Structures are given as C-alpha cells and as structure tokens.
Structure 1
Amino acid sequence: MEDGDGDKTLRKIGEAFKEIASAVNSQTVDIEVAPFSHACSLVSPLFGCLGIAFKFAEMDYVAKVDDLAKASSSISTLSALLDHDIEGDCVRKSGSHSRNLLRVKRGLDMVRVLFEQMLASDESSLRNPASTAYAEVLAPHHGWAIRKAVAAGMYALPSKTQLLKRLNEDEASARIHLQNYINASAPVILYINKLFLTRELGIDW
C-alpha cells in the first residue's frame, strides 16, 4: 500500500495529535489551524476503512477539514478563527469555520471513543465499539434518517482484524497507537470545547 494511504496511518495520527496536545498542555500557545487541520486530515482514511456505516460521517468530516485547511492560509489559530466568525456574526451559519470546527471536533471525539471501546473489548466485531462511539458522540446531532442509515451500515463493518489489516497494523502495534491517540486527543478536544464555552457559544448545535 502506498505511504499515506494505509501505511502506518495509526502511528501518524498518534504522533500528529501528540504534538498538538503538547501545545495545549504547555498552555503558552494557541493551537494553530494549519497543523491542526493536517492532523485531522490523517484521521480521514480511518472513516473510509469503516465502510458504509460511516460514509456520511466521512464525507462531512473530510469537507470540513478541507475548509479549515483553506482557512489556515489567512487565520493562524483556532481562537482567532472563532473570533473572526464572532466579528462577522456568522458563527452558527452553515459553512462557517466555527461550525466546521465543531463538527470536526465531534469526528475526533467519535474516533477517540471508538478506540477506547476497541481496546476495552476482546471481541473481533467492531459493531459494539462503533455503535457505542456513534451513539455517544454523533447520534444526538443527527436526524432519524441518518441514524437509521448508520444503524443499517453497522452490519457491514469490517472486523477488528480486517480494519487493522487495511491500516497495515498488527494487534500489538495498533494497541500502542490507539492509546497514543486517546491520550493525545482528549486534551485537544477539551481545549476546543473550552474555546466555544468561554465565548458563550455553546457546543450542542
């Protein structure tokens, strides 16, 4: 498989988010839009590997990460990005950078919960881990039709072994990378939530 397609995707995701988490943990710098959008783009192939159940999530996520990547040419940090939309009075408007950031954050959070569930389960099926992650993070924001389509697609999920094979990982190496992403993404997700909440924008829309 070509590098960047499935080769060591999990390792790259873990490493990219570790760097962003270290910026958050240092509390001296804002997260920059360019490295953040790049790290998020590394997660995109994962949605593709999960198949039809997450096709909608994949298309939605990829489009919004692309928007953030384009925004990075003129907006340097995530906090500046929100302030830019507040000034333009377009925070909640469809297609706004702030709205897209909130949705990308949910994608990252869903993957975090999925990885946690995969590590906690000895089952080869991904149906329970994926169903839990979807129900916890994305389902509350989706209409009935999307939820029904996702539920139907859960039956076509790859097994854990098939998923790792698509990502060119074995079980032992994958466990390390999954844990790295869980540890690194948690403070990043909290940081993004805080950006919205400190500006009284809310995160449930």
Structure 2
Amino acid sequence: MANFDDQKPLRKISEAFKDLANTVNSQTPDLELELAPFSHACSLVSPLFACLGIAFKFAEIDYVAKVRDLGEASKSIGTLQTMMNRDVEANCVRLAGSHTRNLLRVKRGLDMVRVLFEQIISTEGNSLKNPASTAYAQVFAPHHGWAIRKAVAAGMYALPTKVQLLKKLNEDETTARIEMQNYIDSSVPVIMYIDNLFLSRELGLDW
C-alpha cells in the first residue's frame, strides 16, 4: 500500500524532474548530471507503482531495488557519467547488479510512467486499463517473456479506477492533469539525456 509522507506526491515528483530538466536543458558545456538528485527524484516515483496494484507489482519491486542501488552509489559517485565510465572500465556494464544496468531499468520505469500519464490525460472515462496496457506494451513488454506478460495482462483487471488513483494521490482531475503534464514535459529531456549516455558509449538500449 502506498504511503505518502507528502500530501501532494505528484507535485513533488514534477518539481524534482523539472529541476533535473533545467539542468539537462542548461546547455552547459561538459554537462554532467549529478547522481544524488537524480536518484532522489526517481525515488519519489516509486509509490506510483504501488498505487497501480498487482499488475505492476513486478515493476514496483524491480524499480525500487534499482533506485535504491543508485542512491547507495551516489554516496561515493558524483555523476551518471562517472558511474557508467567505471562500469565500462570494469567490463561489468551488462552484468546483473551493475549500476549501469540498473540505470537502464530505472529509465524504463520513468518512461512507463510518462506514457501512462500521457494516456490518462488523453483517455476519457474512469478505467485505467487502456492507459496502463498501452504504457506496459510500449515500454516493458518488449523486454519481458511470455509468463510475465501473461501475469501483467491478468493483473490489469485489478487496476484501480482513475478516481481511486487520484484519491490515493490526493488530487482532483484538474490538478492531476497539470502535474502529470509537468512530469511528461520534464521527464522527456531527462530520459533522452540518459538514452544518449548509453548510445554515445555504443551500449545500446535493448538489453
């Protein structure tokens, strides 16, 4: 069950990612995104998966563990670039448990939430089944085997309604739309930035 210390979790998430986006968009030469504020912003997103129930339980468990790893890494590593460079040098990028592999998984979680919010904003009605199914299909399904996809499909029938989700988030539809759109706008440049870190090192994004 999600337990929000902050009474406006969506606002907290959107503000944290706005700060990250401002950094990424600053056009500063030799820009490096600091790992500590990034992992903190990602941690604010974690309870959203819990709000979606059993369909995204796998994502919640996986995402929370990966974000926790990045948070621990931030105590001794300054930036995402430094973290990735260390893994490249140690030849452990693709090994389970590597910080870089965990970063890729966290990025997918952020992307899934972005697509989910886009679909919620653009979809009429009270059901979250289509928004959640679309988000899962676009971001997670290509990387999952048949068993996980089947379990997620079954779990979609236990999703909360949009009204129930907004109640958990302590938002009405108007304020939720604003904060969801703010997250969408802010997360896009951050996600692109992370993608570029992988592509510039020829690591790819499909593993």
TM-score, normalised relative to structure 2: 0.96
**1:11 is matched with which residue?**
11
- CA shift in 2, pair 1:152/1:3, >3 Å: closer
Among candidates 134, 137, 140, match of residue 139 of structure 2:
137
Q: For residues 115-126 of structure 1, what are the structure 2 equivalents within 5 Å?
A: 115-126=117-128
Q: 1:118 touches 1:126 (CA, 8 Å); kept in 2?
A: yes
Q: 1:110 touches 1:133 (CA, 8 Å); kept in 2?
A: yes
Partner deviation per Cα, 1:84-111 (whole Å, 9 max, x = no partner) = 1001110000000000000000000000
**1:40 is matched with which residue?**
42
Identity %: 71
Q: Structure 2 regions of 5+ residues with no counterpart?
A: none
- CA shift in 2, pair 1:12/1:153, >3 Å: same
User: For 1:162, what is the secondary structure of its paired residue?
Assistant: helix
Q: 2:3 touches 2:47 (CA, 8 Å); kept in 1?
A: no
**1:198 is matched with which residue?**
200
Q: Which amino acid in the other structure matches residue 169 of structure 2?
A: L
Q: For residues 63-74 of structure 1, what are the structure 2 equivalents within 5 Å?
A: 63-74=65-76
Q: For residues 52-201 of structure 1, what are the structure 2 equivalents within 5 Å?
A: 52-201=54-203
Distance 1:5 1:108 in 2: 21
Distance 2:172 2:154 in 1: 28
Distance 1:13 1:202 in 2: 28
Taking only aligned residues, the RMSD between alpha carbons, in angstroms, comes to: 1.2
Q: CA deviation at 1:26?
A: 0.6
Q: Structure 1 regions of 5+ residues with no counterpart?
A: none
Partner deviation per Cα, 1:93-136 (whole Å, 9 max, x = no partner) = 00000000000000000000000000001121000000000000
Q: How many pairs were matched up?
A: 204
Q: CA deviation at 1:5?
A: 3.7
Partner deviation per Cα, 1:157-182 (whole Å, 9 max, x = no partner) = 00001000001111111010000000
Q: CA deviation at 1:7?
A: 1.8
Q: CA deviation at 1:27?
A: 2.6
Q: 1:6 touches 1:167 (CA, 8 Å); kept in 2?
A: no
Distance 1:4 1:112 in 2: 20
- CA shift in 2, pair 1:140/1:3, >3 Å: closer
Q: 1:6 touches 1:166 (CA, 8 Å); kept in 2?
A: no
Q: Which amino acid in the other structure matches residue 109 of structure 2?
A: G
Partner deviation per Cα, 1:124-150 (whole Å, 9 max, x = no partner) = 100000000000000000111111110
Distance 2:38 2:188 in 1: 14
User: For 1:91, what is the secondary structure of its paired residue?
Assistant: coil
Distance 2:157 2:198 in 1: 36
User: For 1:131, what is the secondary structure of its paired residue?
Assistant: helix
**2:26 is matched with which residue?**
26
Distance 2:52 2:123 in 1: 17
